[in-house]
């Protein structure tokens, strides 16, 4: 990749000097490897429209769309992330995108459209680190655990996927590293083999462990940013607490490849 890479703190990588509209096949391969190893990639100074954004995302894999989300006009593969016209502050908690389907998205990408005067950062948790720092006894006890992920906060039709079982400890198909695969406790209800009370207590503790502040990367958006993250080894949330002004982003999801195990 003919670009400048800068490691972020405490994790993630920033890429400067590469226009995604001109990316070669080897750049796409390098980007997938960066995502697998680092979880989050920030692409600076991108000047592309939505059609070019979609074309770029298709080079990362097959696109998917979360049922119940609002699509971007004329770009049905993208959905609108916006606070414009809302009476109350949007609610955001750490989560994994669309984890309640059998094949959750491998990657999520956001393109900055309109940024507020201040606030509106996006925070990320490193789920590799979350797994690695678990006590050995917890890893051993839950080594084969699977978790039931349920849909919440989206309107689904009766025939649309609304729940799926996933391993709690998930081996990434590219990096080979193990991540603690969770979402918000509202969407992680049961650990197979534990009672409901035991499950919910364990999930709350694991979730709290995952999002300790010192291990989070906070992204301060700039015009021209595209941010991509790997849902198999991160969680994320938007910080709406101190937003002043309109915040508009366009989001695309890239499906896991057929050989991926979740």
As for how many domains the chain has, the answer is 2
Whether the predicted pLDDT of 258 surpasses 90? no
Model pLDDT for residues 222-234, shown as the tens digit of each residue: 999 999 999 999 9
Give a yes or no: residue 261 inside a domain: no
Cα angle 110, 113, 114; round to 5: 125
pLDDT tens digits, one per residue of 58-77: 999 999 999 999 999 999 99
Answer whether residue 102 shows pLDDT above 90: yes
Whether residue 198 is preceded by a cis peptide bond, meaning omega within 30 degrees of 0, is no
**Over the stretch 152-207, which tens digit does the pLDDT of each residue have?**
888 888 889 999 999 999 999 999 999 999 999 999 989 999 999 999 999 999 99
Place of tokens 């695969």: 181
Predicted local distance difference test score (pLDDT) of residue 88? 83
Q: Is residue 22 domain-shared with residue 42, that is, in the same domain?
A: yes
User: At residue 261, does pLDDT exceed 70?
Assistant: no
Position 260 scores a pLDDT of: 61
Burial of 178 (0-12, 13-18, 19+ CB in 10 A): middle
pLDDT of the residue at 91: 83
DSSP element (H, E) containing 21: none
Residue 89 · residue 116 · CB < 8 Å: no
Residue 171 and residue 151 in one domain: yes
The domain that contains 52 carries what CATH number? Answer: 3.60.130.10
141 with 108, same domain: the answer is no
Instruction: Identify whether residues 40 and 80 lie together within a single domain.
Output: yes
* Domain match, 39 and 111 both: yes
29, 109: one domain:
yes
- Mean pLDDT throughout 127-148? 97
Q: What's the farthest any 2 CA atoms get from each other in the chain? A: 52
Here the tokens at position 195 are 């009672």
Q: Mean pLDDT for the chain?
A: 94
Token readout for 201 is 């207590």
Burial group, residue 159, by CB count within 10 angstroms (0-12, 13-18, 19+): exposed
Q: Are residues 204 and 247 in the same domain?
A: no
* Residue ranges making up the domain that contains 222: 4-90+104-125+218-235+242-255
Mean pLDDT across 41-46:
96
- Cβ contacts of 220 within 8 Å, gap of 6 or more: 121
């Amino acid at each position: 990749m003919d670009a400048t890479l800068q490691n972020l703190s405490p994790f993630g990588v920033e890429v400067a000097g590469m226009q995604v509209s001109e990316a070669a096949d080897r750049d796409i391969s390098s980007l997938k490897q960066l995502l697998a190893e680092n979880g989050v990639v920030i692409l600076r100074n991108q000047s592309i429209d939505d059609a070019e954004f979609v074309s770029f995302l298709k080079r990362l894999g097959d696109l998917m769309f979360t049922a119940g989300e609002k699509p971007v006009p004329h770009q049905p593969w993208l959905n609108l992330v916006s606070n414009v016209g809302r009476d109350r502050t949007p609610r955001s908690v750490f989560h994994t995108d669309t984890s309640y389907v059998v094949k959750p998205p491998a990657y999520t990408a956001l393109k900055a459209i309109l940024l507020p005067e201040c606030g509106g950062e996006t925070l990320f948790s490193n789920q590799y680190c979350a797994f690695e720092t678990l006590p050995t006894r917890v890893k051993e006890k839950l080594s084969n655990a699977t978790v039931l992920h349920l849909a919440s906060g989206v309107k689904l039709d009766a025939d649309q996927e609304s729940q799926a079982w996933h391993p709690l400890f998930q081996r990434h198909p590219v990096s080979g590293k193990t991540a603690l695969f969770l979402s918000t406790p509202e969407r992680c209800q049961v650990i197979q083999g534990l009672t409901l009370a035991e499950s919910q207590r364990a999930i709350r503790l694991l979730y709290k462990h995952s999002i300790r502040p010192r291990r989070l990367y906070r992204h301060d958006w700039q015009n021209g940013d595209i941010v991509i993250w790997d849902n198999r080894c991160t969680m994320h949330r938007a910080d709406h607490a101190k937003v002043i002004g309109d915040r508009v982003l366009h989001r695309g999801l890239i499906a896991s490849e057929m050989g991926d195990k979740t």
